[in-house]
Structure 1
Amino acid sequence: MDAVVNGEGLTQASAARALASACSQVGLDSQCVDLLRLGENAIYALPSEGVVVRVARAATEDIKRKVVKELAISRWLASQDFPAVRTRDELPQPVRAEGRLVTFWEYVPPSQVDPDVVDLAGLLRDLHALPRPDFPLPVLDPFPIMRRRLALAQGIERQDVEFLTEACDRSESAFRSIMADDAGGLIHGDAHRGNLLARNGQVLLIDYEAVAIGPRAWDLIPTATAVDRFGLSPTDYTAFCRTYSWNVTDWHGYEALRAVRELGMTTWLMQNSQSGPAAAEFALRMDSLRKEDRERRWHAL
């Protein structure tokens, strides 16, 4: 029976069932599989097949639009010779399995050298210089997905959900004002080092779920915030700014957009924070947000 219809969230168990079903449909062997990430999607590597499998949270119309957009962006970036991970278009895309949408991507083996923030800055500079694609893209709007996460929250204290809901309400007005002043251009939408891969000396930009039209500052704020939140050295941040040729912290809208991005990071973590390290980290983030402590160190999970 459909796990999504039954209200089961995207867990390791439900994602694994969708993975097995989707791979069976397209003729892939899913016996030797590595779970790379479980968050908004479940990401699996099948090294023996040379494939990465992305299992979306559901197969609703809004998620279907995102999945179709991801595939279109990947193909368009390939046409622009932009260094990005490609789809496995010899396989059906997307496949519906266990009430979820599943897509297939090229597998990039682990590299001995991790990409750094200078690599990220260079890719963002080049991405932001590209023309707009010749197909429609959504305008940046992080609030619907945050509110959906809050509406579906399970195992989270009611006061935490209420606080985050009110924080979204407070932040949205400033966000809308910025968007009215600066519609911007093509942005990645979730730009951080975790969305970089290295292959044969080349760094690739991955994960196109949040690609949109919006202020380019949106892509720079995660690295700026990482100095306070995740221990990025000021020297590394200076190198990032030098490569991109702009320090977003000097921009008038920085604090407002930073607040929205931190709400996004916290509601993302909330989805899998019922126990263990994620629960402890969620509690830490909630405490810092309540106290408006902008320098409290967070931990990437």
Structure 2
Amino acid sequence: MLRIGENALFASPVQNLVYRVARSDGLTDKVEKELATARWLVAQGFPGLPPRDEFPQPVSAEGRLVTFWEYVAPAPRDPGLFDLAVLLRDLHALPQPDFPLPELNPFPLMRDRLREAGADGPARGDGAVGEKDLEFLAASCEDSEAAFHDLVESDPAVGFVHGDAHRGNLLRRGDRVLLIDYEAVARGPRMWDLLPTATAAARFGLGPAEYGEFCAVYGADVTQHSGYRILRTVRELGMTTWLMQNVPHSPAAAAEFTLRMDSLRRGDDAARWHAL
């Protein structure tokens, strides 16, 4: 296993394959979008991750959808923020794709997570996320949704966005760095793709010099965008509801979730969070 989140990723180096397993076989449109995005990026000459299209895909198996991707072996040196800034700058300069993109809308996924956490709470016993936490997160989504959609509709720099652009979604293959993971690809404000790095500076200890270099290479600083406050709020809600899914299974996730909830309730924008 490489990682588990919205999808589970399993590597088989001998086969030069990564198996990407979606949570449900009801996600066909989303999975087809990921495959279409990968094929389009490769056709544009952009350094994306090719799907293994010699296999018919996606495949439905035991209630889940599986897709097949090229395996990239671990590199001696991880990609950095300079690489991410260059890739995002080039990505945002591409023409519009030849397939339809959904509008950027993180709220249905966040509400699905909250609904599942609420429904499964009694079965999980002491490990369940508390009702007050679920109510606070649901209210926070409600409070920020209209402003977020207004921003998406009015921002002049709207186009193709990766949707989850951070260093964890970069792979180094030889002298090229690849941008991977297309499940959140959408049409939205391009500033959305700069938020993970700004959040790393605000919450996870990324230094001012590193953040400044990222902004200089890309050519913009999302913290100076008029919609930064609402974009950051929605990004942090997404990060917190994602972490919430692991609370019943991980003491570390439970402790970090408690820390994040406390800072969100207090409106503490400077509280240090920890990546898990």
Indicate the TM-score class for this superposition, using the shorter chain for normalisation.
over 0.9
Q: Does residue 216 in structure 1 map to residue 182 in structure 2?
A: no
Q: 2:272 and 2:20 mapped to 1: Cα distance?
A: 30
Residue of structure 2 equivalent to 1:290: 265
- Selected match of 2:153 from 180, 183, 186: 180
Write the letter of the residue equivalent to 2:152: M
Q: 1:37 and 1:282 mapped to 2: Cα distance?
A: 19
Structure 1 segment 90-239 matched on structure 2, within 5 A:
90-153=54-117, 154=120, 155-182=128-155, 184-239=158-213
Structure 1 segment 263-282 matched on structure 2, within 5 A:
263-274=237-248, 275-282=250-257
Residue of structure 2 equivalent to 1:85: 49
SS in 1 for 2:83: helix
User: How many residues are paired up?
Assistant: 265
- Cα shift at 1:180: 1.9
Q: 1:237 and 1:90 mapped to 2: Cα distance?
A: 41
SS in 2 for 1:156: coil
- Cα shift at 1:214: 0.3
What is the TM-score normalised by the length of structure 2? 0.94
Aligned residues of 1:86 and 1:106 also touching (Cα < 8 A): yes
- Cα shift at 1:276: 1.7
Q: 1:84 and 1:299 mapped to 2: Cα distance?
A: 28
- Cα shift at 1:36: 1.1
Write the letter of the residue equivalent to 1:232: L
Residue of structure 1 equivalent to 2:221: 247
SS in 1 for 2:177: strand
Instruction: Mark the runs of 5 or more structure 1 residues left unpaired by the alignment.
Output: 1-34
Identity %: 62
SS in 1 for 2:2: strand
Write the letter of the residue equivalent to 1:263: L
Aligned residues of 1:39 and 1:269 also touching (Cα < 8 A): no
